[in-house]
């Protein structure tokens, strides 16, 4: 580091003088003055570009674990090596890389702060000039030690101030972060509480305001629409403001980067000045050490001359650094205040935005609640209608369910009977199996019996088992058939009654249908009559409108005449005297005309009253239409005739009125020339005509009112017609529903008939199979029986009776045959038992005989042995032993012969018994197979 920071020796140390030593601090001061001027220019260039630091940068800096002092120290250590050598290059680069950007916020405050800084720099420059002049007089006052102590104290104080400022800033930023976090948490808690309260109010509101929703829905909708429009406008404003704030934050971040760059440049300049000072001090020390040896006082003066300006320079530099740090602290406080304002503004914007969002969401929730309430009301109405329909359907379904329950009960009874028959068959099978097992045990006991008796016994057992099985199956089938016949007869009777009821219902429905058709035809006729009446009323209204038009034309003609009379009145003023004579005649004639007009008006009123009375009667007849059709028709005909007569009278009166008016006009035109002097009378006549016009207008209005009443009557008649058509449509729908139900009943009845026919066919097939099985059994048994079955011819008229008589005869013969077979079986069993007893006695006899033979043989062998022992006394002992051995061998041979014979006999006996066992097993297997076939036949016949 010392090698990099060392400056070259420009001045020769050998020839250095005290005056030349003083020039070094002056040159350094000049350089610092130039550096201050360049810094002033940089500040002036930074006026339009300077902007406050943003909250984001402060938060980022706060989140870093390294403090600002450590950051500055690291930057200083990193840039120590390249600052002195690249001094001129960096100054040029800084002049070239000046940025000119516009600030977003608080530019006026920053400009003011820069102005203050510029003023401070001017003051400092003036003070620098003064100090420069003073340094020349104070060059030799202080020592090197004082200068070093001052530099150390200044650096220590500067570090302490930096640390204090940095600690305060860090604390302030941490407090700001904590406040922001608290505000956010409070705002979230408040928003959640408000939303919960509003949701609870909305949940309570439907329960409280269900009765008032029908009246206040329109007003609430309007209010909500207006509020939604306001919320949308506020939302757009908030969005625009947020976009502006985002842009301002981005610009502030950019300006913050520019300011940080400029601050680093200023710090670099200050560090360069420090490096220059250190280099100058080192250079002076080196020059002072390398100087010639002089007196001691001379060295001391030189040291004083050298240290005094250095001390003054360090004091000025510390003053400058303190002023700069104070300015930076003030600016930083201002920036913090501005950042807090920005934070408040942003928090306000965010709160407004969140409130608007919450308000919009609450409105949407209210609208959803209202829609859900309406849907619930509609659904309740639909449910009520559906419940009514369900009640009707359930009533019909209950009727059908009762019928189905009866059928199901009948089916359940049949299934129970079927299961009982199955259980009985299983029990019989078990009994027969037990019997077979018993017989097998008996056969095992009597294995050593005679073969012929066993074969006969096996045949008899087979026959008996087949006969018993057939008898049992026949009995079960006969009982089933009888029960099923009874059930089928009962079901047939029920179905016949059901069909009779259905036929009666169909007849009633047909009668109702015919009555409804007659009513419908009558209603159609009435509707046609009403349509004709409506057409007549329309024609009358059109005629009235035509009359109205003619009256309006007459009024227009009268208005024209009025105008003509006004023109002629001027001419008649000269002839007033001649008109006074004929004044009385005209008045009398006008009175007669007025009387005729009043009579006509009275007649019109009478006709109108009659018309009103007829309309009332018509409404009454419409109400009692179903009760008094014929009377209403006759009255309607009479009313039409009277109405036509009145209409004819009205036409005659109108024609007479028009004729009278025309004659009057002609008379007036003829008398105008003679009645020129009757101006006053003409004026009165004009007033009378005005009154007539007003009366005619009133009549027209009255006619318009009547036309409106007629239109209302027409609308009422139309409404009645629509109601009648609706009733007719409903009746037609009911009629179609009844027809569909009838069709369904017919289909169900046909299905039941088909099912009944199928069941009858199945019963008949089952009975035929039973009859065939009985015939097969009787034929098979009659072929082996002593008394064969004889068929008797019956002369019964009914086929069922013949069939039953045949079955009864076959069953009686089968009973007799079974009794005979049982007797035979008992006899055979007695014979077999007697044979077995005889065989046991024979076995015992043979055993006693064999025992006697063995005793005799033992005695004979003993005698022979005694004879041989007496006869062979003189022989040697060896020969006796040989004879004994031969004797034992002979005895063994005889014993083996006897044993061989007995084993052969035993093998033969075992072979015989094995053959008998095989035959018996084959017989049992055949019986089981026959049993299974009979069972399968039963299940196939009676599924």
Q: DSSP per residue over 312-378, as a string?
A: HHHHHHHHHHHHHHHHHHHHHHHHHHHHHHHHHHHHHHHHHHHHHHHHHHHHHHHHHHHHHHHHHHH
What's the pLDDT score for residue 48? 44
Q: How much is the average pLDDT of 903-919? A: 66
Q: How much is the average pLDDT of 468-493? A: 69
Q: How much is the average pLDDT of 152-156? A: 62
Q: 């009844």: which residue's tokens? A: 738
pLDDT top residue among 35 and 76: 35
Flag whether pLDDT at 757 surpasses 80: yes
What's the pLDDT score for residue 13? 41
φ, ψ for residue 210, nearest 5 deg: -70, -35
What's the pLDDT score for residue 441? 72
Flag whether pLDDT at 663 surpasses 50: yes
Q: What percent of the chain has pLDDT over 90?
A: 0
DSSP 64: S
pLDDT tens per residue, range 849-881 = 767 767 777 777 677 666 665 654 544 455 666
Flag whether pLDDT at 626 surpasses 70: no
- CA 339 to chain CA centroid, Å, is 50
User: Whole-angstrom Cα distance, residue 478 to residue 238?
Assistant: 99
Confidence class of residue 54 from pLDDT cuts 50, 70 and 90? very low
What's the pLDDT score for residue 138? 67
What's the pLDDT score for residue 479? 72
Confidence class of residue 42 from pLDDT cuts 50, 70 and 90? low
User: Whole-angstrom Cα distance, residue 586 to residue 25?
Assistant: 143
pLDDT tens per residue, range 171-187 = 766 776 677 677 767 76
Q: Any idea which of 256-260, 482-486, 709-713 has the lowest mean pLDDT?
A: 256-260
Q: DSSP per residue over 742-803, as a string?
A: HHHHHHHHHHHHHHHHHHHHHHHHHHHHHHHHHHHHHHHHHHHSSS---PPP---SSHHHHH
- CA 745 to chain CA centroid, Å, is 41
Flag whether pLDDT at 641 surpasses 60: yes
Flag whether pLDDT at 221 surpasses 80: no
Q: Any idea which of 280-294, 463-477, 492-506, 702-716 has the lowest mean pLDDT?
A: 280-294
- Assessment of whether the complete model's pTM goes beyond 0.75: no
User: Whole-angstrom Cα distance, residue 678 to residue 569?
Assistant: 9
Q: How much is the average pLDDT of 153-165? A: 59
pLDDT top residue among 92 and 396: 396
User: Whole-angstrom Cα distance, residue 394 to residue 378?
Assistant: 23
**Token pair in block for residue 516:** 């409804």
Flag whether pLDDT at 104 surpasses 60: no
Confidence class of residue 168 from pLDDT cuts 50, 70 and 90? low
- Whether 611 and 639 have beta carbons less than 8 Å apart is answered as no
Flag whether pLDDT at 423 surpasses 60: yes
Confidence class of residue 19 from pLDDT cuts 50, 70 and 90? very low
Q: How much is the average pLDDT of 74-99? A: 50
**Token pair in block for residue 252:** 């502030």
- Whether 374 and 210 have beta carbons less than 8 Å apart is answered as no
User: Whole-angstrom Cα distance, residue 17 to residue 27?
Assistant: 16
pLDDT top residue among 794 and 248: 248
Q: Any idea which of 30-39, 89-98, 235-244, 515-524 has the lowest mean pLDDT?
A: 89-98
**How much is the mean pLDDT over the chain?**
66
What's the pLDDT score for residue 328? 64
Flag whether pLDDT at 326 surpasses 70: no
Q: How much is the average pLDDT of 5-26? A: 44
Q: How much is the average pLDDT of 930-934? A: 66
Flag whether pLDDT at 65 surpasses 70: no
Flag whether pLDDT at 77 surpasses 70: no
What's the pLDDT score for residue 941? 52
Confidence class of residue 719 from pLDDT cuts 50, 70 and 90? confident
User: Whole-angstrom Cα distance, residue 118 to residue 611?
Assistant: 109
Q: How much is the average pLDDT of 190-213? A: 56
Q: Is 106 left (phi over 0), alpha (psi -120 to 50) or beta?
A: left
What's the pLDDT score for residue 646? 67
Q: How much is the average pLDDT of 764-790? A: 76
What's the pLDDT score for residue 501? 73
Q: How much is the average pLDDT of 617-636? A: 63
Flag whether pLDDT at 457 surpasses 70: no
What's the pLDDT score for residue 703? 72
DSSP 420: H
What's the pLDDT score for residue 99? 42
**Closest to 176 (Cα-Cα) out of 57, 58, 68:** 58
What's the pLDDT score for residue 259? 63
Flag whether pLDDT at 1 surpasses 50: no
Q: How much is the average pLDDT of 655-667? A: 70
Q: Any idea which of 368-382, 411-425, 670-684, 811-825 has the lowest mean pLDDT?
A: 670-684
pLDDT top residue among 289 and 59: 289
Confidence class of residue 66 from pLDDT cuts 50, 70 and 90? very low
Angle at CA 719, nearest 5°, toward 715 and 720? 120
DSSP 573: G
Flag whether pLDDT at 374 surpasses 70: yes
Q: How much is the average pLDDT of 84-101? A: 48
pLDDT tens per residue, range 739-749 = 788 778 778 87
What's the pLDDT score for residue 10? 37
Flag whether pLDDT at 50 surpasses 60: no
Give residues with Cβ within 8 angstroms of 331, minimum separation 6. 113
What's the pLDDT score for residue 16? 43
């Amino acid at each position: 580091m010392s090698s990099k920071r060392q400056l070259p020796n420009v001045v020769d140390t050998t020839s250095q003088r005290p005056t030349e030593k003083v020039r070094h601090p002056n040159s350094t001061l000049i350089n610092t003055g130039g550096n201050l001027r360049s810094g002033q220019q940089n500040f002036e260039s930074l006026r339009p570009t300077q902007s406050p630091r943003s909250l984001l940068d402060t938060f980022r800096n706060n989140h870093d674990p390294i403090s600002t002092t450590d950051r500055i120290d690291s930057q200083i250590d990193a840039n120590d090596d390249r600052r002195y050598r690249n001094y001129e290059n960096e100054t040029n680069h800084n002049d070239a890389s000046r940025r000119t950007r516009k600030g977003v916020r608080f530019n006026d405050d920053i400009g003011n702060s820069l102005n203050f800084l510029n003023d401070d720099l001017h003051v400092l420059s003036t003070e620098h000039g003064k100090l420069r002049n003073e340094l020349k007089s104070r060059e030799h006052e202080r020592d090197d030690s004082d200068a070093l102590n001052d530099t150390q104290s200044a650096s220590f104080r500067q570090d302490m101030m930096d640390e204090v400022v940095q600690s305060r800033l860090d604390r302030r930023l941490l407090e700001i972060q904590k406040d922001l976090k608290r505000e956010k948490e409070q705002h979230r808690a408040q928003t959640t509480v408000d939303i919960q309260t509003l949701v609870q109010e909305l949940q309570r509101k439907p329960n409280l305001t269900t009765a008032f929703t029908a009246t206040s829905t329109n007003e609430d909708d309007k209010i909500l629409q207006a509020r939604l429009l306001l919320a949308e406008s506020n939302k757009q404003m908030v969005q625009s403001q947020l976009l502006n704030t985002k842009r301002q934050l981005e610009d502030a971040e950019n300006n913050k980067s520019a300011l940080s760059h400029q601050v680093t440049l200023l710090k670099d300049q200050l560090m360069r000045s420090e490096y220059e000072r250190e280099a100058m001090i080192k250079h002076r020390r080196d020059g002072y050490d390398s100087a010639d040896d002089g007196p001691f006082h001379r060295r001391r003066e030189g040291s004083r001359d050298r240290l005094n300006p250095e001390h003054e320079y360090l004091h000025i530099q510390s003053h400058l650094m303190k002023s700069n740090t104070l300015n930076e602290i003030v600016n930083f406080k201002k920036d913090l205040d501005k950042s807090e304002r920005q934070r408040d503004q942003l928090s306000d914007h965010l709160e407004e935005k969140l409130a608007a969002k919450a308000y919009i969401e609450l409105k949407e929730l209210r609208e959803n609640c209202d829609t859900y309430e309406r849907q619930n009301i509609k659904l309740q109405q639909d449910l009520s209608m559906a419940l009514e329909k369900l009640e009707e359907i359930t009533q019909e379904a209950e009727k059908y369910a009762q019928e189905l329950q009866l059928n199901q009960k009948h089916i359940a009874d049949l299934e129970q009977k079927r299961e009982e028959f199955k259980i009985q068959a299983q029990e019989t099978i078990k009994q027969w199996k037990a019997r077979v097992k018993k017989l097998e045990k008996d056969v095992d006991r009597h294995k050593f019996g005679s073969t012929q008796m066993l074969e006969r016994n096996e045949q008899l057992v087979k026959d008996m088992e087949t006969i018993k099985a057939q008898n049992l199956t026949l009995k079960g089938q006969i009982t089933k058939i009888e029960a099923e016949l009874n059930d089928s007869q009962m079901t047939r009777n029920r179905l016949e009654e059901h069909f009779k009821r259905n036929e009666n219902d169909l007849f009633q429905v047909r009668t109702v249908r015919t009555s409804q058709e007659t009513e419908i035809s009558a209603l159609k006729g009435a509707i046609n009559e009403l349509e004709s009446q409506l057409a007549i009323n329309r024609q009358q209204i059109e005629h009235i409108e035509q009359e109205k038009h003619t009256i309006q034309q007459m009024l227009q003609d009268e208005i024209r005449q009025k105008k003509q009379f006004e023109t002629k009145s001027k001419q008649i003023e000269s002839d007033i005297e001649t008109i006074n004579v004929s004044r009385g005649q005209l008045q009398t004639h006008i009175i007669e005309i007025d009387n005729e007009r009043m009579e006509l008006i009275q007649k019109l009123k009478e006709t109108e009253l009659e018309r009103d009375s007829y309309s009332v009667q018509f409404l009454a007849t419409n109400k009692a239409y179903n009760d008094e059709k014929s009377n209403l028709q006759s009255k309607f005909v009479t009313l039409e005739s009277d109405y036509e007569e009145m209409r004819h009278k009205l036409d005659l009166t109108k024609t007479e009125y028009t004729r009278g008016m025309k004659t009057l006009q002609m008379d007036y035109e003829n008398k105008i020339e003679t009645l020129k002097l009757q101006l006053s009378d003409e004026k009165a006549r004009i007033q009378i005509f005005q009154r007539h016009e007003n009366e005619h207008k009133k009549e027209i209005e009255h006619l318009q009112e009547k036309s409106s009443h007629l239109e209302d009557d027409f609308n009422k008649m139309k409404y009645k017609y629509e109601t009648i058509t609706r009733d007719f449509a409903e009746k037609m729908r009911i009629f179609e529903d009844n027809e569909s139900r009838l069709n369904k009943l017919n289909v169900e009845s046909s299905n039941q008939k088909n099912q009944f026919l199928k069941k009858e066919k199945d019963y008949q097939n089952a009975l035929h199979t039973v009859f065939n099985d009985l015939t097969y059994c009787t034929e098979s048994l009659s072929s082996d029986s002593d008394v064969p079955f004889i068929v008797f011819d019956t002369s019964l008229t009914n086929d069922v009776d013949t069939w039953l008589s045949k079955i009864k005869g076959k069953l009686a013969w089968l009973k007799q045959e079974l009794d005979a077979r049982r007797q035979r079986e008992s006899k055979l069993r007695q014979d077999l038992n007697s044979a077995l007893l005889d065989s046991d006695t024979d076995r015992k006899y043979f055993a006693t005989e064999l025992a006697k033979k063995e005793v005799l043989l033992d005695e004979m062998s003993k005698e022979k042995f005694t004879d041989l022992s007496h006869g062979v006394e003189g022989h040697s002992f060896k020969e006796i032993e040989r004879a004994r051995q031969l004797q034992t061998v002979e005895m063994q041979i005889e014993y083996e012969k006897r044993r061989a014979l007995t084993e052969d006999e035993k093998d033969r006996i075992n072979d015989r018994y094995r053959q008998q066992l095989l035959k018996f097993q084959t017989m049992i297997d055949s019986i089981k197979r026959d049993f299974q076939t009979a069972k399968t036949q039963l299940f196939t016949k009676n599924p």
